[in-house]
Amino acid sequence: MSLRAAASCRVVVTLLAGLALASPRAARAQRQLFDRFTDVGVHVIGVPDEARQLGVDSIDLRRHLEARLRGVGIGVRSGAELAAFQDTPRLVIVVSALTVDSAYFFSVTAELLERVALKRTGGEMYGYNWTRQAIGAATLERAMTATWGAVDQLTSHFLEARRRAMALAQAPSQ
Confirm whether 139 is domain-assigned: yes
Report long-range pairs for 112-116 (Cβ below 8 Å, ≥24 apart): 112/33, 112/40, 112/158, 113/89, 114/33, 114/89, 114/90, 115/86, 115/87, 115/89
Q: Is 45 part of a structural domain of the chain?
A: yes
Q: Tens digits of per-residue pLDDT, 46-101? A: 999 999 999 999 999 999 999 999 999 999 999 899 889 888 999 999 999 999 99
Structural domain including 113 reads 8-168
pTM: 0.79
The answer to the question of residue 88 being in a domain is: yes
Residue 2 forms part of a structural domain: no
73: in domain? yes
Cα dihedral 78, 70, 136, 26, rounded to 10, equals: 80
Q: What is the pLDDT of residues 118-136, one digit of tens each?
A: 888 888 887 777 899 999 9
Q: Kindly report the CATH number assigned to the domain that includes residue 121.
A: 3.30.160
Please state the domain count of the chain.
Answer: 1
Whether residue 24 lies inside any domain: the answer is yes
